[in-house]
Amino acid sequence: MQPVRKKDSRYTYADYYSWDDNERWELIEGVQYAMPPAPTWKHQLISSNIHGQIWQYLRGKNCSVFSSPIDVRLNADTDDNNVVQPDIIVVCDKSKLEDSRAYVGAPDMVVEVLSPSTEKHDRLTKFKLYLNAGVREYWIVDPESKMVQVNILNSGKYTISAYDETDSIPVHVLDGCVVDLAEVFETEE
């Protein structure tokens, strides 16, 4: 993803909110990033499979799971210049859904499913962004290698674990929730 720079200044959520609804953007440290075209069906199926397992677990519980597109305003209380659209978020503090267009603050969990055009952005830029924002659990899902990197926030740093398609992953922010990767990567190619 290539940034689009504003001359001599940075964008804020107020700018972001005024942009054309027919285009998708992310805003990181005030820099505008154009979202790529719609992801592949394989990306979407993997994302749906993760979302479905978490949604099933959360039925009747206090937390919720959302799929993209949903705006997440990571630093609305300060500069308000970080707005992202993760593939999946899990939120347990529903009071942060005060804005009808966005979740305000750090979600409890974020999942990004890699695409060739977003891999570097998700692994580096968003990794640092989510860490600094206090996202407690960040999954990076690689459809090609059928691997998941799980990052758990611990004392201001991420503890990193890797899982493959034969594993089941405990969702650390949801006690008792487990995601079966055999079902996640079942894409009927």
Q: What is the pLDDT of residues 39-91, one digit of tens each?
A: 889 999 999 999 999 999 999 999 999 999 899 999 988 888 999 999 999 99
- pTM for the full predicted model: 0.90
pLDDT of residue 110: 98
R_g (Cα) of the chain, nearest Å? 16
Q: Taking a C-beta distance cutoff of 8 angstroms, is the pair 26, 125 a contact? A: no
Mean pLDDT of 123-132: 96
CATH class for the region spanning 39-77+85-184: alpha beta
Q: How many CB atoms lie within 10 A of CB 141?
A: 26
Assign 33 to helix, strand or coil. Answer: strand
Q: How many CB atoms lie within 10 A of CB 127?
A: 19
Predicted confidence at residue 21, as pLDDT, reads 73
DSSP state of 11: -
Render pLDDT for 147-166 as a digit per residue (tens, 0 to 9).
999 999 999 999 999 999 99
Report whether 27 contacts 125 (CB < 8 A). no
The answer, yes or no, to whether residue 8 has pLDDT greater than 60, is no
Averaged over 23-51, what is the pLDDT? 89
Residues 6+ apart with CB under 8 A from 102: 13, 70, 71, 72, 73, 76, 83
Higher pLDDT, 45 or 36: 45
